Amino acid sequence: MTAPTRPPRASQPYPVADHPEAEIGGWIPVFVAALVGAVVIAIAGVIAGLVVVNIRENAVDDSPARTPSASAPLAQTSAPAAPVRAVDPPAQQLDQVDLQRGVQLVLIDSYGVDDVRDVRCPAGQTVIVGATFDCLVKVGSTQKSVAVTITDSDGTYEVGRPH
């Protein structure tokens, strides 16, 4: 260790450099910078919100407006107009792969049947509420039959116990 170049003072035992910027106010510049940053972020958020609202309003306004001359006259016929369908929609069919997978899951999850494999359901089952058909399943080494009943027009079905 080397000897100090000056004798230590009791108030400052080690040499400390003078800081002229310490007289500015300490934390005040930090608070001012934080406040300015918060105001800038708030203004940017308001501008972004206005842009999004403007885009949405323009998207809605792009649809053509109906003029009174283009609309059909009202109350010229005495009978109400019935909806007309040009073509009947094709009959909805159950997807065979999804049906077979669904039957297997119901047997395992709802009925607790183990070792369900080789589920075979007939292809092209039309969605008709109340319609029933059979699927063949292999439980272990035994071939069994499962009744499937369509319960609504969306294609929801009910799976019976294997027999």
How would you write the pLDDT of the chain (163 residues) with one tens digit per residue?
A: 566 566 666 666 666 666 555 555 668 888 899 999 999 999 998 988 888 877 766 665 444 444 444 444 444 444 454 555 555 567 789 999 999 999 999 999 999 998 898 999 999 999 999 999 999 999 999 999 999 999 998 889 999 999 9
Q: How far apart are CA 142 and CA 8, in angstroms?
A: 99
Residue written as token pair 């005040």? 28
- Kindly report the pTM of this predicted structure: 0.47
Query: Are β-strands 132-139 and 142-150 bridged in parallel, bridged antiparallel, or unpaired?
Result: antiparallel
Which residues does residue 98 pair with via DSSP β-bridges, in sequence order?
Answer: none
Hey, what amino acid is at 111? Y
Residue written as token pair 């105001």? 39
